[in-house]
């Protein structure tokens, strides 16, 4: 196979301390007269230096919530009830707090999904980059401006000097996305999180932006977390894949191993969405419903083609299966089964 | 260049707008029952005398013709006579309108300081004590009538405590009036070096400005709070936060985004208060333009009313033009 | 037999406060046969949505003609004429927005029948038929839109579209707002509905991997012009327009071995449809561009029967070596993965 060129470096890096370490992150939303809605349940995640990790989940999986939890901006009254977050070994809780030891944009930077809505409409592109650079790096206005122009050039924006004075509404979606990438990388962060950053782009532009992101990360030894609902992106741009379902990690594996043999039935369901044979897809997807009122212990049991009685009564734990793989399933699909 | 063209275009539009405003107010006022000729001559006048005066005043002509005559006069700068004051309306308004403007401008400045300050502070800390206080204040200021508040202030600060001067006009009647230059007593007394008048005017302004300022701060506070809330909840502020920008920069960016809404409210309040300050003017014996117009309505004295309409319409149009230019300056998207 | 014929369709939108025109469509021509799926693909600004809206009569074209079942449609009027009513239906991109949040989806689904003057018992019978076809229990259909997942709502939207037994359904990005699994479910549903009802689809999408599943013929659009039209397998396996090649090459497939091909990468951004220069709209991004391309739009050429290309250099793209289709390779790969681990009852 020709696509295993990255394996060696990944093993070498495994020794280094993780850039980001999430341990048992749990976020709950209190509900009136009911038990809390646990939107993220004990999520563990480690990202090592120079590594690109793909986090895949569909609507409601909690992938954006995880980003927001890391960035210290949990929306809508949710509470970070337990778990620890560490950046290069330094624990942190509330990133945007001015006293936090780990600083957003400088240490952990975010690339957002809808740049035309996230850029301030009344500030020029240049002002927005300069603001971030000046605040975090303490440069003078002139130095910050020079650095901002360099960043715009680095993300392949044509004529960066004049683009500095452009307003966000004058940019196309692809251009705005590049500006956001430039902001994210302007202070040499140790980790870049991309939250569905390319889903709103046209396919040809999406490819350009993804390639750019990969180059920038590789060139600067930055680690990256690519959060997406499109599993195809992770196949080409990530070293490791983590699958999130209803707030839980259900599978984690090195990329090539994952795509050769996904273990968790949900991972297979995700792949099936791209498959061409409707009959096979239906076999995985058409699951007889559970009896009314049953609340299965395994969160995926109601959609699982491999469901057994045990799945309804006993919640599976996230099991280590060696070679850097973990799976949360009583009956995973393993090679030869 | 583009801005200049825009301003010219806007000013051209002022002509039909003014015509429309005049036309509508003229006919509306004519609908009010009451014959000025009867009121001028008193209850004992003969029918012949009344008819003669009516003919002199042109009141026997068809209404549309009356309007055309009035319009012709206005175009020559003649706003007619007020039969109550027996003086030209233009000169009456030249003294009275600045009095109202001075009062309203200062009141709104106070209202902006209170409203903006409380609004921003309460939006930045949605669970803080300021927020609670501001919410009560917003509720109260909407419920309390301005003239009542004025009366309370007079009772407390003049009658009980004696801190404020008697509510009789813009400065002490014992003083010789300063030369009129701008019409604003504060400015004129400063220019002419009349510090006695200046201090007196200041103390006379205190209570009415406080009254109108406190009442008008309510809507500004509400508008600031809600548009700051929206701005702070917007995606780009969340993004700025997640870029680790400091709190004061976040506040500035949010305020910048909220400003167009706040300016709109202030401009509407300003145009509205010119007329709505009349009750407070009466309580303080201010001698302002609103008072003048209301007396005109009550006594079928048509010309002062129309004169007031013209003055406040021009003022509103200027205010709205300034607001549009501010939008231009604030939001690059409107510059197309 | 031709069901719908779109002839030289042009649509220019005026820009408010300016004398400029957004040239959304610049002479689009294609035909749809009875019962087939015809896909319009392209990126934002390609005009594919505008075509769909013109076909259902939501907008009036600047010039050109649309002939449905032999009858020319004079824009807004005839689409509502009794003989056309209910024969063309529409499914929108955002499932939530096309349902009234205050009434059950079933009520919305039978709405089109009311305008056909159908009585109540017939309506109910038709509803039951359609619910069975889209495999939605009546209890689900009686819920409010807010209580359904986006995938379920889009299922209901498909049901509403086919309830009048139309000849043609225009599907405007019906799957773009959905998660990949819900997306594939809708595609499977559309295929099974078509098998039973022989409805023709005009499928509008930017998502080529979805189009690949269900289309008979495909039309690639760019900035308001048709670049290439042909049978799906031809256009996917042997695209002859540089834009189609670039577009196909940009599709990511979920397997690390299926890398995106290096050939014909389209650099740069899509230009604005305001004041397009004459000539081929791709000229600014095309690696094969020649001076002639900038002078006028290339005339249609047919490298193979029924395969139309607007490119003077299409022969340069003919593949000497038959490169294996990435989509086919993925088919094999994914089938291998899906076959393993299936429970006994289905395997």
A 51-90 near C (Cβ less than 8 A) = 58-59
Mutate to test the interface with B, among A121, A169, A170 (most CBs of B within 10 A): A121
d(CA C223, CA C45): 6
pLDDT average, residue stretch B35-45: 78
- Taking an 8 Å cut-off on Cβ atoms, the answer to whether B246 and A135 are in contact is yes
Contacts B236 to A, Cβ<8 Å: 117-121
Comparing B170 with B263, the larger pLDDT belongs to B263
Whole-angstrom Cα distance, residue A204 to residue C286? 13
Domain boundary among C133, C163, C193: C163
- Disruptive mutation site among B124, B239, B260, B329 for chain A (greatest number of A CBs within 10 Å): B239
List C residues 195-234 in contact with A (Cβ-Cβ < 8 A): 206-209, 212-213
By the CB < 8 Å criterion, does C173 face chain A?
no
Any residues with CB less than 8 A from the CB of A288 and at least 6 apart, and which? none
The answer to whether A244 and A234 have CB atoms below 8 angstroms apart is: no
For B293, residues 6+ apart whose C-beta sits below 8 A from its C-beta are B275, B278, B304, B305, B308, B309
pLDDT score for A13: 45
CB < 8 Å to A132, chain B = 243-245
Give the pLDDT of residue A8. Answer: 47
DSSP string, B201-231: HHHHHHHHHHHHHHHHHHHHHHHHHHHHHHH
Q: Where are the beta strands (DSSP E) in chain C?
A: 2-14, 21-33, 37-41, 63-68, 71-73, 88-91, 168-172, 200-205, 217-222, 225-231, 301-304, 307-309
Least Cα distance to A69 among A106, A123, A110 occurs for A110
- On whether residue C271 sits in a domain, the answer given is no
Q: Tens digits of per-residue pLDDT, A131-186?
A: 999 999 999 999 999 999 998 988 878 888 888 999 998 888 888 888 998 999 88
Contact list in C for residue A231 (CB cut-off 8 A) is: 180, 254
Q: Are C274 and C293 in contact (CB under 8 A)?
A: no
- Same-domain pairing of A237 and A316: no
CA–CA gap between residue B321 and residue B328 (Å, rounded): 11
Residues C79 and C211 in one domain: yes
Question: Between A203, A234, A262, which is nearest C247 by CB?
Answer: A203
Query: Within its chain, how far is the Cα of C23 from the centroid?
Result: 20
Structure tokens belonging to residue A264: 């968790």
Structure tokens at B169: 């006009």
Number of structural domains in chain A: 2
Cα–Cα distance measured from residue A91 to residue A69, given in angstroms and rounded to the nearest whole number: 14
Residue B308 near residue B292 (C-beta atoms within 8 A): yes
Domain presence at residue C124: yes
Give the model's confidence band at C78: pLDDT under 50 very low, under 70 low, under 90 confident, else very high. low
Position C284 in a domain: no
C271 touches A: beta carbon within 8 Å: no
Measure the CA–CA gap between B305 and B297, rounded to whole angstroms: 7
> Can you tell me the ipTM of this complex?
0.84
Helix B235-242 and helix B247-276: axis angle, to 10°? 150
Say what the pLDDT of residue B216 is: 93
Q: What is the mean pLDDT of chain B?
A: 87
Cβ separation C338–A275 shorter than 8 A:
yes
Are residues C64 and C138 both part of a single domain? no
Alpha carbon separation from C28 to C65, C231, C266 (Å, rounded): 10, 18, 23
- Clarify whether residues C149 and C189 are in a common domain: no
Shortest distance, CA A136 to any CA of chain B (angstroms)? 8
Same domain, C118 and C192: no
Q: Check residue A11 and give its pLDDT.
A: 47
User: Is the pLDDT higher at A7 or at B259?
Assistant: B259
Measuring CA to CA, which residue among C34, C10, C65, C4 is closest to residue C226? C10
* Whole-number pLDDT of residue C208: 85
pLDDT classification of A30: cutoffs 50, 70, 90: confident
pLDDT one-digit tens code per residue, A37-73: 889 999 999 998 889 999 999 888 998 899 989 988 8
**B42-46, B106-110, B160-164, range with the lowest pLDDT:** B42-46
Contact with chain B for residue A104, Cβ under 8 A: yes
The residue from C112, C147, C163 where one domain ends is C163
Specify whether A320 is located in the same domain as A232: no
Confidence (pLDDT) at A22: 93
In terms of domains, do C159 and C181 share one?
no
Tell me, yes or no, if A130 comes closer than 8 A to chain B by beta carbon.
Answer: no
Contact A100, A93 (CB under 8 A): yes
Which of A172, A270, A283 is facing C181, going by the closest CB pair?
A: A270
d(CA B162, CA B26): 45
Helix-strand-coil percent breakdown of chain A, rounded to 5? 35, 20, 40
Phi first, then psi, for residue A53 (nearest 5°) are -110, 135
Using one digit for the tens of pLDDT, what is the confidence trace for B68-124?
Answer: 888 888 888 888 888 888 889 898 888 889 989 999 999 999 999 999 999 999 998
Q: Are A33 and A72 in contact (CB under 8 A)?
A: no
Among A204, A227, A232, most C C-beta atoms within 10 A, so best to mutate, is A204
Q: Does A5 score more than 50 pLDDT? A: no
d(CA C243, CA C311): 10
| Pairwise CA distance, residues C269 & B323, whole Å | 38
Highest mean predicted confidence (pLDDT) among A223-232, B26-35, C69-78? A223-232
pLDDT at C347: 41
Question: Distance, in angstroms, between B326 CA and closest chain A CA?
Answer: 13
A274 touches chain C (CB under 8 A): yes
For chains A and B, CB pairs below 8 A equal 69
Residues 6+ apart with CB under 8 A from C115: C85, C86
Strand partners, A38: A28
- Cα separation, B145 vs B276, in Å, equals 11
Q: How far is A109 from chain C (nearest CA, A)?
A: 26
**Record: contact A118-B253, CB cut-off 8 A:** no
Confirm whether C13 is domain-assigned.
yes
Nearest CA in chain A to B254: A120
CA dist A89 and B10 (Å) reads 63
- A2 with A84, same domain? yes
CATH label of the domain that carries residue C226: 3.40.50.300
Query: Which of A213, A233, A260 marks a domain boundary?
Result: A260
Residue A112 in any domain: the answer is no
At the top level of CATH, the class of B94-288+309-335 is mainly alpha
Domain assignment of residue C144, given as a range: 99-163
Contact A29, A44 (CB under 8 A): no
Is A235 inside any structural domain? yes
Give SS3 for A56. Answer: strand
- Contact status of A111 with chain B (Cβ, < 8 Å): no
Which residues of B fall within a CB distance of 8 Å from A120?
Answer: 236-237, 240, 253, 257
φ, ψ of residue B150 in degrees (nearest 5)? -60, -45
Give the start-to-end residue ranges of the domains of chain B.
Answer: 2-88, 94-288+309-335
Helices (H), B125-234: 129-143, 146-153, 185-191, 195-232
User: Which one of A67, A113, A120 makes the best mutation probe of the B interface by having the most chain B beta carbons within 10 Å?
Assistant: A120
Verify that C192 and C324 share a domain, yes or no. Answer: yes
Percent of chain B whose pLDDT exceeds 70: 99
Q: What pLDDT score does B184 carry? A: 83
Which residues are bridge partners to C218 per DSSP? C39, C230
Q: Does B54 have pLDDT greater than 90? A: no
For residues C285 and C220, give the distance between their C-alpha atoms in angstroms, rounded to a whole number: 16
**Across the interface, which of C252, C256, C265 has its CB nearest the CB of A256?**
C256
Share of chain C above pLDDT 90, in %: 40
Q: How far apart are CA B53 and CA B33, in angstroms?
A: 18
Q: Collapsing DSSP states into helix, strand and coil, what is residue A241? A: strand
Give the mean pLDDT of B186-194: 86
Copy the structure tokens of residue A38.
């646990």
The better pLDDT of the pair C183, C74 is held by C183
Q: Give the three-class secondary structure for C297.
A: coil
Closest among C1, C18, C48, C11 to C206, alpha carbons compared: C48
Residue carrying the six token digits 């233009």: B90
C217-266: pLDDT as tens digits: 999 999 999 999 999 988 888 888 999 988 888 888 888 888 887 767 77
Q: Which residue of A has its CA nearest to B248?
A: A98
Whether chain A has a CB inside 8 Å of the CB on C139: the answer is no
- pLDDT of B3-21, one tens digit each? 788 888 888 888 888 889 8
Which domain CATH number covers A8?
A: 3.40.50.300
Evaluate if residue C118 carries a pLDDT over 50: yes
Tell me if residue A247 falls in helix, strand or coil. Answer: coil
Give yes or no: residues C47 and C170 share one domain. Answer: yes
Cα atoms found within 13 Å of the Cα of residue B227, Cβ hemisphere only:
20
Does a structural domain hold residue C105? yes
The structural domain count of chain C equals 2
Helix axes B289-298, B302-330, angle to 10 degrees: 140
CB contact (8 A) between residue A104 and residue B331: no
E strand or H helix that includes residue A191:
strand A191-195
Q: Which two tokens stand for residue A146?
A: 């020079």
With contacts defined as CB-CB under 8 Å, which chain A residues touch B230? none
Closest CA to A69 of A111, A107, A28: A28
C-beta separation of C212 from C327 below 8 A: yes
CB contact under 8 A, B246 and A183: no
Digit-coded pLDDT (tens) for B291-327: 888 888 888 788 888 899 888 888 888 898 889 888 8
Instruction: Look at residues A217, A239, A260 and tell me which one is the last residue of a structural domain.
Output: A260
> Residue A6's pLDDT is what?
44
Same domain, C203 and C253: yes
pLDDT tens per residue, range B217-274: 999 999 999 999 999 988 899 889 888 888 889 999 999 999 999 999 999 999 999 8
- Identify the sign of the CA torsion B59, B64, B67, B72: negative
Mean pLDDT of chain A: 86
Q: What is the DSSP letter of A104?
A: B
Chains touching chain C through at least 3 C-beta pairs below 8 angstroms are: A
Q: Do A114 and B238 touch (CB under 8 A)?
A: no
> Is C16 a member of any domain?
yes
Are residues C305 and C218 both part of a single domain? yes
Measure the N-to-C terminal CA separation of chain C; round to a whole number of Å. Answer: 40
φ and ψ at residue C27, rounded to 5 degrees? 85, 75
Per-residue tokens: B241: 């936060």
Strand-strand pairing, C200-205 and C168-172: parallel
Q: Is C109 inside a domain boundary?
A: yes
Of C163, C192, C209, which residue sits at a domain end? C163
A44/A78 same-domain check = yes
Give residue-wise pLDDT tens across range A190-210: 999 998 888 877 888 888 888
CB B100 within 8 A of CB B274: yes
Domain-embedded: residue A16: yes
Q: Is residue A195 in some structural domain?
A: no
pLDDT digits (tens, 9 = 90+) for A238-266: 999 999 999 999 999 999 999 999 999 99
DSSP character for C314? G
Together in a domain, C134 and C184: no
User: CA-to-CA distance for C158 and C138, rounded, in angstroms?
Assistant: 15
In this structure, the answer to whether residues C136 and C228 fall within a common structural domain is no
The answer on A271 and A245 residing in a single domain is no
Domain coverage including residue A271: 263-327
Q: Name the nearest CA neighbour of A52 among A261, A174, A201, A197.
A: A197
Q: Among C93, C136, C179, pick the best mutation site for testing chain A contact (most A Cβ within 10 A).
A: C179
> What subunits make at least 3 CB pairs under 8 angstroms with B?
A
What is the DSSP code string of A119-147?
A: S-TTS-HHHHHHHHHHHHH---HHHHHHH
- Paired tokens of B217: 């701060």
CA B47 to centroid of chain Cα atoms: 41
Same structural domain for residues C143 and C25? no
Which residues sit opposite A18 in a β-bridge? A48
Rounded distance between C-alpha atoms, residue B166 and residue A119, angstroms: 56
**pLDDT surpassing 70 at residue A237:** yes
Give the pLDDT of residue C346. Answer: 45
**Chain A nearest-CA residue for C260:** A236
Dist CA A253 CA C347 (whole Å): 26
Is A310 a member of any domain?
A: yes
Confidence of residue C83 (pLDDT cuts 50, 70, 90): low
Return all residues near C114 (Cβ < 8 A) that are at least 6 apart.
C123
Q: In this structure, are residues C196 and C18 in contact, taking their beta carbons and an 8 Å threshold?
A: no
């Amino acid at each position: 196979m020709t696509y295993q060129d990255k394996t060696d470096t990944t093993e070498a890096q495994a020794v280094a301390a993780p850039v980001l370490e999430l341990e048992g992150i749990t976020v709950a939303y209190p509900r009136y007269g009911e038990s809390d809605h646990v939107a993220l349940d004990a999520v563990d995640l480690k990202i090592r230096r120079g590594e690109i990790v793909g986090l895949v989940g569909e609507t409601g999986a909690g992938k954006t919530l995880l980003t927001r939890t890391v960035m210290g901006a949990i929306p809508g009254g949710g509470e970070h009830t337990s778990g620890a977050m560490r950046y290069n070994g330094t624990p942190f809780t509330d990133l945007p707090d001015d006293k936090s030891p780990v600083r957003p944009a400088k240490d952990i930077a975010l690339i957002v999904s809808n740049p035309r809505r996230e850029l301030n409409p009344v500030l020029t592109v240049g002002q927005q980059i300069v603001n971030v650079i000046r605040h975090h790096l303490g440069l003078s206005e002139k130095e910050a401006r020079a650095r901002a122009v360099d960043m715009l050039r680095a993300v392949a924006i044509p004529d960066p000097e004049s683009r500095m004075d452009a307003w966000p509404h004058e940019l196309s979606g692809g251009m705005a996305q590049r500006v956001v990438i430039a902001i994210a990388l302007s202070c040499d962060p140790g980790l870049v999180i991309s939250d569905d950053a390319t889903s709103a782009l046209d396919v040809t532009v999406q490819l350009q932006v993804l390639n750019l992101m990969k180059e920038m990360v590789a060139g600067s030894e930055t680690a990256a977390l690519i959060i997406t609902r499109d599993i195809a992106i992770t196949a080409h741009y990530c070293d490791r894949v983590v699958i999130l379902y209803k707030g839980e990690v259900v599978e984690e594996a090195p990329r090539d191993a994952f795509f050769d043999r996904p273990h968790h039935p949900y991972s297979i369901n995700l792949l099936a969405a791209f498959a061409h044979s409707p009959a096979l897809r239906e076999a995985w997807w058409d699951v007889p419903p559970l009896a009314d009122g049953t609340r299965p212990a395994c969160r995926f049991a109601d959609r699982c083609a491999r469901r057994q009685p045990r799945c309804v009564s006993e919640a599976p734990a996230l099991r280590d299966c060696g070679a850097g793989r973990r799976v949360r399933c009583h009956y995973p699909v393993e090679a030869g089964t | 260049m583009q801005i200049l063209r825009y301003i010219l275009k806007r000013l051209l539009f002022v002509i039909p707008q003014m015509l429309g405003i005049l036309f509508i107010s003229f006919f509306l006022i004519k609908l009010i029952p009451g014959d000025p000729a009867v009121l001028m001559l008193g209850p004992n006048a003969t029918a012949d005398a009344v008819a003669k005066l009516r003919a002199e005043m042109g009141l026997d002509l068809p209404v549309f013709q009356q309007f055309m005559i009035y319009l012709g006069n206005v175009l020559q700068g003649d706003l007619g006579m007020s039969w109550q004051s027996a003086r030209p309306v233009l000169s009456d308004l030249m003294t009275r309108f600045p009095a109202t403007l001075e009062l309203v401008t200062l009141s709104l400045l106070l209202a902006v300081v209170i409203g903006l300050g409380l609004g921003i502070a309460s939006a930045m800390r949605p669970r803080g004590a300021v927020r609670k206080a501001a919410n009560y204040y917003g509720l109260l200021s909407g419920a309390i009538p301005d003239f009542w508040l004025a009366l309370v202030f007079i009772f407390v600060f003049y009658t009980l405590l004696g801190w404020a001067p008697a509510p009789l006009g813009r400065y002490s009647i014992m003083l010789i009036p300063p030369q009129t230059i701008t019409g604003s007593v504060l400015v004129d007394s400063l220019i002419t070096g009349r510090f006695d008048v200046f201090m007196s005017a200041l103390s006379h302004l205190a209570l009415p400005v406080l009254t109108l300022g406190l009442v008008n701060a309510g809507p500004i506070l509400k508008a600031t709070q809600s548009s700051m809330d929206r701005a702070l909840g917007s995606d780009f502020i969340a993004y700025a936060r997640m870029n680790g920008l400091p709190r004061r920069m976040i506040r500035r960016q949010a305020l910048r985004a909220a400003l167009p809404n706040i300016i709109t409210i202030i401009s509407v309040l300003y145009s509205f208060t010119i007329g709505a300050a009349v009750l407070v003017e009466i309580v303080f014996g201010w001698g302002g333009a609103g008072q003048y117009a209301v007396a005109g309505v009550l006594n079928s004295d048509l010309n002062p009313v129309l004169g007031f309409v013209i003055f406040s319409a021009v003022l509103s149009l200027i205010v709205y033009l300034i607001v549009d230019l501010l939008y231009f300056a604030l939001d690059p998207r409107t510059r197309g | 037999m031709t069901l719908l014929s779109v002839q030289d369709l042009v649509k220019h939108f005026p820009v408010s406060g300016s004398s400029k025109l957004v040239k959304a469509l610049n002479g689009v021509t294609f035909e749809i046969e009875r019962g087939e799926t015809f896909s319009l693909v392209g990126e934002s600004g390609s005009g594919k949505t505008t075509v769909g809206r013109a076909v259902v009569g939501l907008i009036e074209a600047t010039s050109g003609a649309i002939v449905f079942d032999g009858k020319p449609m004079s824009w807004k009027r005839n689409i509502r004429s009794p003989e056309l009513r209910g024969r063309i239906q529409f499914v929108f991109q955002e499932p939530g927005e096309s349902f009234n949040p205050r009434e059950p989806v079933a009520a919305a689904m039978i709405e089109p029948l009311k305008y056909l003057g159908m009585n109540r018992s017939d309506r109910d019978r038709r509803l039951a038929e359609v619910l069975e076809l889209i495999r939605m229990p009546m209890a689900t259909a009686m819920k409010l839109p807010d209580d359904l997942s986006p995938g379920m709502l889009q299922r209901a939207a498909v049901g509403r579209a086919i309830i009048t037994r139309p000849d043609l359904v225009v599907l405007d990005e019906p799957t773009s707002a959905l998660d990949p699994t819900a997306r594939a479910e809708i595609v499977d549903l559309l295929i099974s509905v078509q098998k039973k009802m022989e409805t023709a689809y005009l499928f509008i999408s930017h998502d080529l991997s979805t189009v690949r599943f269900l289309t008979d013929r495909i039309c690639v659009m760019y900035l308001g012009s048709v670049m290439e039209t042909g049978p799906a397998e031809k256009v996917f396996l042997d695209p002859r327009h540089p834009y189609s090649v670039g577009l196909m090459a940009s599709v990511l497939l979920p397997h690390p071995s299926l890398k995106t091909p290096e050939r014909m990468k389209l650099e740069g951004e899509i230009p604005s449809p305001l004041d397009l220069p004459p000539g081929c709209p791709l000229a600014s991004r095309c690696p094969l561009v020649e001076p002639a391309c900038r002078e006028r739009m290339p005339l249609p050429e047919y490298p193979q029967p029924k395969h139309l290309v607007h490119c003077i250099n299409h022969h340069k793209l003919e593949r000497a070596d038959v490169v294996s289709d990435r989509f086919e390779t993925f088919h094999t790969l994914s089938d291998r993965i899906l076959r393993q681990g299936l429970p006994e009852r289905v395997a």
